[in-house]
Amino acid sequence: MCGIFLELSCEKCSIVNDIDVLRRLKNRGPDHLQRKDFISEIGQHIVFVASVLWMQGPQMTLQPLENECGILLYNGDIFDESWDSRTSDTQIIMEKLSYDCDSQIDKVINVLKSLKGPFSLIYYCKVTNKLYFTRDRFGRNSLLIHKNSNSLVLSSVLGTQYENYEVPVSHISVLDLNTHKILLYTWKATDIVQQCNLGDWLKTLQLKQSLSDLDFTVEANIPWDIDGLDDTVSFIESVAKKTKCNVTIMKTLSQHPEIQTTINKIMYLLNKSIHKRLKRQPNLCRNCLKITEINCSHSAVGVLFSGGLDCTILALLADKYVPKNQSIDLLNVAFNKENPTYDVPDRITGRKSLEELRRLCPLRKWTFKEINVPKEELEEFQISVIADLIYPRQTILDESLGSALWFAARGQDHHSVSNCRVLFSGTGADELFGGYTRHRAVFKRLGWAGLCKELQLDWERIPYRNLARDNRVICDHGRQPRMPYLDEEFAEFVIHLKPWLKCFPSKHLGHGLGDKLMLRLVAYNIGLMEVSTFPKRALQFGSRVANKNEKVNGGLVFLRAAFVLLEVGGLHIFTE
């Protein structure tokens, strides 16, 4: 994962010299840091800065990448099987953007639309004096925008000292540096192009960023006969009513033709997604990378590991593709904020899942890292580091989840710090397969039609919720987060499944079974018998970074030296 930064000014650029910003950028890309100053034909000073975490290609591609056509800042991973895996994705993107040095906007836009994988990108076209910037359509990577009276800044991370907004994923933005007009291109094949002034656009971003989940709406597109349902629904209901034994339910459901076909397809696509994300990396831990050791037997890959369903499936499937001589780190975080010990729910679950992984993969060395965080250390880093990383997100939920992820990704237990460079995350599984408590509540009130709409809504708003925040937090440790459930091909298949082929939150299939039913059946079919029925538990509660009994009115605004709680009344922040 790289850190990218651009500052544009008609005078002297200043934010580029902020030591805190540069340190955060360097944390994201510890392998190389480089700056490029450029003066446009009309006298604008543009500073490009990039830090690199080498992941793709036989050798590191240094950034900013420049040729006669333009300058590229790129942060991401392209998982396109039609691309030569022996070549850096950064170089391929630059070649495509510079083909014939064509200055037509549509051609550049079409290149950006063709990219598959998580990324954020800034491209300056010298020929037209236009600045292109965007994040991938799922919003998996961070890109922030800040404007003051002197300069405009785009950066992977900034901090609380600069008012900033997350660049929206709904459009590819093209800023004309001659007129300061901005063109917004949608990701759809046929564009409806919007044009506005930069200042007006930034005001719109400010309003949209303050929206709560309740402000998001979606027109439900239901291609199935929800009222008529089908025989699969009747079959699942009859099996659930006949037996209370979870193992028997799993076994019987797996024998139904449509369910078995769905399980097989999900397993195929998830294996494919994981394989793509493991073969495009050097297979070296941090230490071996420094000494160019080609036979690394340490952990180059880790998993953010609560021991729950989503992450344990990823760990088990990753075993197929990680070199057999390498260990795999399982990063399990616990806090003793109000607990006398670190035996929190996620620690207990993690140990149980570890035993199941050892049973199924006895030849693999699984390194279970028990990351214990005392209250004093938590509070210290929340103020000095985490507040800057999660900003512009500011709620107590952002603080709790950001803290849990930051300490987990740091990978430091009482023995050592993890040297893995790739870190798998189960992000997206709950949204795709109906894993939240609210899905059960909606189904109880509104039936299949209501659940179908809620699942669509979850998917539509996922880019606006937490992915950029999580990216800033995890990447602060120089690790590359990879999220197999958010693979384009995998997600496209699951999104279009009938809702009862994702989850079945009826009263007959309780917590730990009906929620994410299809993913539980996948776990059962690959041998994770115990894990397949573990109940869903939110990270902030399972790790005990937050207390489930805490009820807070309002949001948390972070300052560098203190937290100020603003009472705005009536909002229960800790929702799933």
Residues 380, 385, 389, 394, Cα dihedral to 10°: 40
Sign of CA dihedral 99, 105, 106, 108: positive
Rg (CA), the chain: 24
Rounded Cα gap, residues 236 and 250, in angstroms: 10
Q: To which residue do tokens 């495509």 refer?
A: 96
Contacts of 397 (CB under 8 A, 6+ apart): 540, 573, 574, 575
Q: Please name the helix (run of DSSP H) or strand (run of DSSP E) that holds residue 555, with its range, or none.
A: strand 555-558
Amino acid at 524: Y
Rounded Cα gap, residues 15 and 27, in angstroms: 17
Q: Is 239 in contact with 250 (CB distance < 8 Å)?
A: no
Q: How many helices (H) and strands (E) does the chain have?
A: 19, 20
Rounded Cα gap, residues 282 and 151, in angstroms: 38
Rounded Cα gap, residues 130 and 517, in angstroms: 48
Phi, psi of 4 (to 5 degrees): -120, 145
> What are the Cα distances from residue 52, in Å, to 146, 168, 252, 430, 480?
22, 24, 50, 31, 11
Q: Please name the helix (run of DSSP H) or strand (run of DSSP E) that holds residue 104, with its range, or none.
A: none
Rounded Cα gap, residues 495 and 434, in angstroms: 11
Residues 492, 497, 502, 503, Cα dihedral to 10°: 140
DSSP string for residues in 109-178: HHHHHT--SSEEEEEEETTTTEEEEEE-TT--S--EEEE-SSEEEEES---TTS--EEPPSSEEEEEETT
Cα distance from N-terminal residue to C-terminal residue, the chain: 28
The catalytically annotated residue of 2, 125, 361, 420 is 2
Q: Let me know if 2 is a catalytic residue.
A: yes
Rounded Cα gap, residues 74 and 120, in angstroms: 6
Rounded Cα gap, residues 236 and 243, in angstroms: 11
Counting Cβ atoms within 10 Å, is residue 228 exposed (0-12), middle (13-18) or buried (19+)? exposed
Long-range pairs of 12-16 with CB within 8 A, sequence gap ≥ 24: 12/45, 13/45, 13/47, 13/151, 14/150, 14/151, 15/146, 15/151, 15/153, 15/162, 16/47, 16/49
Rounded Cα gap, residues 188 and 544, in angstroms: 42
Write the Ramachandran bin of 314: left for phi over 0, alpha for psi from -120 to 50, otherwise beta: alpha
Count how many Cα atoms sit within 13 Å of the Cα of residue 57 in the half-sphere of its side chain.
Answer: 16
Catalytic residue numbers, as ranges: 2
